[in-house]
């Protein structure tokens, strides 16, 4: 089932999400819905707070469903290692129509549980490393806007506020 994606300004996007403790049917439905919603958007990643669920769950698929085996569903993800630096353009399904260059580590190692509750370790560079950091940021209540420096961030936020005021957000 498709879920609606909340946008910048929603409280859910600013709160740290809770760790998942039970791997029940509700969790499996949430993950299936998030995958469907991500592909429909379309997007390469989606975190549970973006569909209004304050739990540490995110899905990533850089191929947006076009290549098998690239889909990741991660629960309670944590960084084990982070190094290097990459500067790339980044956007977010909760901040539609806006993007900015964000500096992030270029390589990460993440430990997470898969949807069956099995521990998985993922080493990633480039775009996948960026996607993992973007989604884990969501689980900590952070948006890519929060990673921008003062003026760049202020300009984007002012433009979004204007859209909000005029009912176009
Ligand atoms: Zn996002």
Q: Global pTM?
A: 0.96
Cis amide bond preceding 80, omega within 30 = no
- Rounded mean pLDDT, 18-41: 98
Cα(38) to centroid of ligand 1, in Å? Answer: 11
70 given a catalytic annotation: no
pLDDT at 109: 98
Closest by CA to 135, choosing from 48, 68, 70, is 48
Closest by CA to 87, choosing from 72, 108, 101, is 101
Q: Percentage helix, strand, coil, to 5, in the chain?
A: 35, 30, 40
pLDDT at 55: 98
Cα(86) to centroid of ligand 1, in Å? Answer: 18
Cα(95) to centroid of ligand 1, in Å? Answer: 7
Phi and psi at residue 37, in whole multiples of 5°? -65, -40
């Amino acid at each position: 089932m498709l879920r609606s994606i909340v946008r910048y300004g929603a409280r859910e996007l600013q709160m740290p999400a809770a760790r998942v403790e039970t791997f029940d049917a509700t969790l499996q439905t949430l993950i299936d819905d998030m995958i469907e919603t991500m592909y429909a958007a379309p997007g390469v990643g989606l975190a549970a707070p973006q569909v209004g669920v304050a739990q540490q769950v995110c899905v990533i698929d850089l191929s947006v469903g076009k290549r098998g085996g690239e889909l990741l569903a991660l629960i309670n993800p944590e960084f084990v290692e982070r190094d290097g630096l990459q500067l790339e353009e980044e956007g977010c399904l909760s901040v539609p129509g806006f993007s900015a260059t964000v500096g992030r580590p270029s390589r990460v190692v993440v430990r997470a549980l898969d949807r069956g509750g099995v521990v998985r370790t993922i080493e990633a560079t480039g775009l996948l490393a960026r996607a993992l950091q973007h989604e884990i940021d969501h689980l900590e209540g952070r948006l890519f806007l929060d990673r921008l420096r003062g003026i760049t961030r202020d300009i984007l936020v002012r433009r979004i506020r204007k859209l909000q005021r005029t009912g176009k957000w």
